[in-house]
Chains A and B, each alone.
Chain A
């Protein structure tokens, strides 16, 4: 067992205070890492003190309203969290709406999910892609959301939406609007993922056919993605291709 001297202990306290105040110098990180392995995953008593200080210093002027879109997003995230917890428990607790207007956000969320089910296009995954997307956003700490942009002179302009991807979960979802339906007997959309191995070794992320309204498509890479950097959609022959010339471009989303 290692015993710290008072000066060593005091130094550790100083480093933790600096960390709590975001004042650690670059040269201090290795010292703290060596002294307290795994400290990054923990909140110290000085983080608690700093959190309370920050709360105490807020004024009425700081407490402006939360944007409605953000509140809705938090409600959806919370609902997805509850669904994921209750799916693992034998006796799920049914939602009972609160009184009056307070229940409205949940009703809106529930309506959104019903619409999602109606709009869902069958895929290989057994989970509704919209539910899967919300669940991934709610449960993954490294999930990133990237917006689609027209890719150079796209064959299908004006497509909108985003990609959610988690490297740790190796899962993701694409969301599209204005993506015309393809006849899968003639051609299909194909997703390409560019990761740390670069463009030359891009990974196929799956085939899909588009659709009317908002479409959510799960990403199903055949091999492990290492630190995804960009996602791009092309139009390819039915069944896709292993080697695309990327000539029929649609959208791209990049970090």
Chain B
């Protein structure tokens, strides 16, 4: 019998559900605030993420991602969906130079070994890719606003974001799934 926490959640083990909340509520709560949701929406959004987690916990596949990655992935997608539903992406009137020029100086949160590995992987990207991904993922800025605040052309921002994320996936060894290449299709050659 699987001992993965999410599989135990899918079987309705109350201890596992409680452990899941203890382990991941802080992560999802923090992601909800970083994604740019209005504060008043954050609680409902986090509840919605956990509702989705209960339902999808049985689909967790440890060969694809760690449990932390699974939770963070579900959370980000649901949080972005909710932001789209409830509001336009909030656009700050002014971007602080610190946000554009340098990463946060606070200590990184100790969430999991995989988060540490992802932090190391981010450091392997080019400085431009790191900057664009940080402004997009952490600061929650649109590509258009990143272009305006950094002075990069929009096309360059998009390229850094795409290539950076794809490179990050490679460094982390996240396997592509068959459906990502299109229905009943396989790529020719080794693109991507």
- Number of A-B residue pairs at CB separation under 8 A: 272
Chain A residue at minimum C-beta to C-beta distance from B10: A85
Cβ–Cβ contact A17 & B166, under 8 A: yes
Report B-chain residues with C-beta under 8 Å of the C-beta of A102: 18, 22
Cβ–Cβ contact B185 & A1, under 8 A: yes
Q: Which residue from A5, A69, A79, A93 sits with its C-beta under 8 Å from B43?
A: A69
Report A-chain residues with C-beta under 8 Å of the C-beta of B137: 21, 50, 53-54, 57
Interface of B is mostly: helix
Cβ–Cβ contact A13 & B166, under 8 A: yes
Cβ–Cβ contact B165 & A53, under 8 A: yes
Is A43 on the interface with B (CB-CB < 8 A)? Answer: yes
Is B33 on the interface with A (CB-CB < 8 A)? Answer: yes
Is A159 on the interface with B (CB-CB < 8 A)? Answer: no
Is B153 on the interface with A (CB-CB < 8 A)? Answer: no
Is A37 on the interface with B (CB-CB < 8 A)? Answer: yes
Chain A residue at minimum C-beta to C-beta distance from B106: A59
Binding site for B on A (CB under 8 A): 1-10, 12-14, 16-18, 20-23, 35-37, 39, 42-67, 69-71, 73-75, 77-79, 81-86, 89, 92-93, 95-96, 98, 102, 105-106, 137-141, 145
Cβ–Cβ contact A62 & B109, under 8 A: yes
Give A157 Cβ to nearest chain B Cβ, in Å.
25
Can you list, as one digit per residue, whether each of B149-190 has a CB less than 8 Å from chain A (1) or not (0)? 000000000100110011011001011110111111111110
Take A46-B166, A63-B26 as given contacts and tell me if A51 and B69 are in contact as well, using a CB distance cutoff of 8 Å.
yes
- Please measure, in the bound complex, the distance between the C-alpha atom of A82 and the C-alpha atom of B158, giving whole angstroms: 43
Chain A residue at minimum C-beta to C-beta distance from B136: A21
Cβ–Cβ contact A52 & B114, under 8 A: yes
